[in-house]
A and B are shown apart, each in its own frame.
Chain A
Amino acid sequence: MNPKHSRSLIALSTTALALPGIANADAPPTQNKVSYKISNYTEDDLSRREAPFGDLDRYDIDVHQFQLISPVGRNFSLQVDANYESLTGASPWFTSTGLDGEPIVSLSGASGIRDKRSELSVGTRYYLINGSIGGNIGYSEEDDYRATYFGLSGERHFNDEMTTVSLGFSYSSDDIFPTDAELFNRVVSEDKSSTSAVLSISQVINQVSTFQVALSLTEQSGFLSDPYKLRDVRPQDKTQIALTNSYRRFFVAADASLHVNYRFYHDDFGISSQTFDVAWFQNLSNSLQLVPTVRYYSQSAADFFTNVDDFLKPLSEYQSSDYRLAAFGAYSGGLSLIADLGAWTAVLTAERYVANEAYSAYAVSQPSTALVRYNRISLGFDYSF
């Protein structure tokens, strides 16, 4: 258009650009949305070779997730999340050495663990010119664990919404009071806190692709050990840093979208990890979408990881046989089917995850015997009204 605009045009553009639907204002959702998802997570049982004695059943978790997102007035939205988990099975209690010197694992309690977790979180968001700010508070409770948390976040668009910068901050205060503490000589009551900040920048590259980079920093302090293990002594402080990169690209001819994510993580327990995942969102018809996903994960071991608990070591020295602190690699593959049924959307997802020290990209000096393999299946529904 002609750069030499008339005074009238400039005047009319000025007031038109200030109209709320046109101004670069973020808008709250325009519809109410209710979502429900049920997931089942089942870890493969251990083999007799890995755990010659006791229970072989590992965790089996059912998760029910409920969410409501609702517009409030013209500038606010309200979000309520409620989760309920029921868990049965057992987790590694201690590790020791078998007859041939190989590490073996013993799971907790012959009768296993039965627990449930309930969580409620409420958040609100205020939408303003060029961005939004929000906050949430939440509470989570288990038989032996309680967490209270809050978060604040802000987001701002620049450059005609081509660039978005967001900043978030969250704090969680957790109390741990293990069951049967006296019977098993466990700690009676401990606490820990976690403070986290995240900065993310996303950029629209062109009409079909976007890139996002996020940096997060988390500081944990307090009781970070596993109270259920016979011997588990970890530092009282942990600093975590993570850098996540996401690339999205839409392919017009294929009518599909590619999502690629890479994450690097490091903490001062000595663990570094890398995650690489790829998802392909293929449109099949007006109302069906198929999404295959593949993920590779690998981490290095914590400095104090041992695959055989050393009960002779003084309690002042750090050690843990938690498989999550071992060096390993993991592959997972999944498939989602998304169906749009008018006001309803249904999502069915199945995933298989296998962790193994042989898959590790990092050196494995002590392989863990307790690495997990699991299946996860979930079915979710959204209803907008």
Chain B
Amino acid sequence: MNPSLKRFSINAMGGYCEFQIFDESRINAKRIVRQLTTEVRRLEQKYSRYRSNSLVTAINYSAGDKLGIKIDSETRSLFDHALTCFEQSNGLFDITAGALSRIWDFRTAQVPAQAQIDALLPRIGFNRLSWRNSRLLMPAGMEIDFGGIVKEYAADAVAKLGRRLGVNHGLVNLGGDFAVIGAQPDNQPWTVGVADPKQRDRLMAKIDLLYGGLASSGDYERCFIHKGKRYSHIVNPKTGWPCDGLRAVSVAANLCTVAGSMATIAMLKDEQAALGWLQESGLPFAAMTGEERITGEGLNEQQPESSL
């Protein structure tokens, strides 16, 4: 490996994040990484569901408020993209389904009663959001969850910032969501390993990235087995029950945000529909089916290594 490749890691957005930079000027690499980190932290602080002072918490707190809440242009753009996800998935990918994750708690591994689910379903529906100029009006009890969008967007935004700061060759990894700042020197692609959902320290496939990004969605550790049945953390907002299509999917696209939306939608679809839909997109992808068969398009055919 070229000696001028520098790697920096941080913990952010609920996971391990890494910046790999072939720095033109080493002295600037650390400074650049500091600025990239600042951007990651900014987005984390703004869109985390788990921070009491985040914008998303404020948005969720405003549910039922007749005056609504003022939304800045960046967040409005994320809502616009979430609307596209909602439309393109026929309502399967719905950021207003945040309330469901409260009853499907994968740490307690409890299957909620149908009555609990039925009580929440009326609080879900992207089409029930309304806008008055820049103010968002959300019905009472609704909860927004930007999962599947914000971390991917952050990877793209950080990669873009890296380019703007003069990095020509680099890769951003935010907890498994990758965005290319620039190909490796000599125009070599970055080979990204996709983790096996059954065993995190194993790879199920490798995908080469020259530009754009790669995002994954899947069960990974966040699922539980109850009475012999596997329950995924990915919940269908229409039924309120976890999906039982693909186990995991990774998609490469022109942007990590697009890859993340594609991967999330694929997880929500029935297995056959998901695979057909991914193939139709023409994007490289790797997927593990319910029967634990690995399939995909445009994969790096070298033998996967045993570790990430």
Interface residues, chain A, with chain B CB atoms under 8 Å away: 1-9, 11-22, 26-27, 30-31, 74, 161, 207-208, 250, 252, 255, 257, 281, 283, 285-289, 338, 340, 342-343, 345, 384
Contact = CB atoms under 8 A, between A and B. Distances in A.
B261 A207 contact: no
Contact of B258 (A9, A285, A384): A9
Nearest to B154: A21
Given A6-B282, A9-B282, A161-B163, A16 B24 contact: no
Contacts of A250: 24
B153 interface: yes
Contacts of B160: 21-22
B57 interface: no
A212 B166 CA distance: 15
11 contacts: A1-B284, A8-B280, A16-B257, A19-B257, A21-B74, A21-B153, A22-B160, A27-B161, A207-B168, A207-B182, A384-B34
A68 B185 CA distance: 35
A20 B74 contact: yes
Contacts, number: 149
A74 B261 CA distance: 26
A17 B168 CA distance: 20
A155 to B, nearest CB: 12
Contacts of A20: 73-74, 77, 157
Contacts of B154: 21
B88 interface: yes
**Chain B: interface secondary structure?**
helix
B215 to A, nearest CB: 11
Contacts of B163: 161
Interface of B: 2, 4, 22, 24-31, 34-35, 38-39, 42-43, 72-74, 77-78, 80-81, 83-85, 87-88, 153-154, 156-158, 160-161, 163-164, 168-169, 182, 185, 187, 252-255, 257-258, 261-262, 265, 277, 280-284, 298
Given A20-B73, A30-B39, A12 B262 contact: yes
A342 B27 CA distance: 10
B25 A13 contact: no
A18 B153 CA distance: 11
Most B C-beta atoms less than 10 A away, residue of A16, A18, A21, A342: A16
**Chain A: interface secondary structure?**
loop
Contacts of A4: 282
Contact of B168 (A208, A255, A288, A345): A208
A2 B280 CA distance: 10
A5 B77 contact: no
B168 A21 contact: no
Nearest to A2: B282
A272 B44 CA distance: 56
Given A1-B254, A9-B283, A16-B257, 13 more contacts: A1-B282, A2-B281, A8-B280, A9-B282, A13-B253, A15-B83, A16-B156, A19-B153, A22-B160, A30-B35, A74-B73, A289-B27, A384-B31
A27 B74 CA distance: 13
Contacts of A289: 25-27
Contacts of B261: 12, 16
B212 to A, nearest CB: 8
A345 B31 CA distance: 10
Contacts of B169: 207
Contact of B281 (A9, A16, A18, A257): A9
B161 A18 contact: no
Contacts of B28: 340
A9 B253 contact: yes
Contact of A11 (B87, B185, B253): B87
Given A14-B84, A250-B24, A384-B34, A9 B153 contact: no
A286 B277 CA distance: 47
A76 B122 CA distance: 42
Contact of A15 (B81, B157, B265): B81
Contacts of A74: 72-74
A15 B80 contact: yes
Contact of B255 (A17, A161, A255, A257): A17
A5 B27 CA distance: 42
A24 to B, nearest CB: 8
A257 B31 CA distance: 18
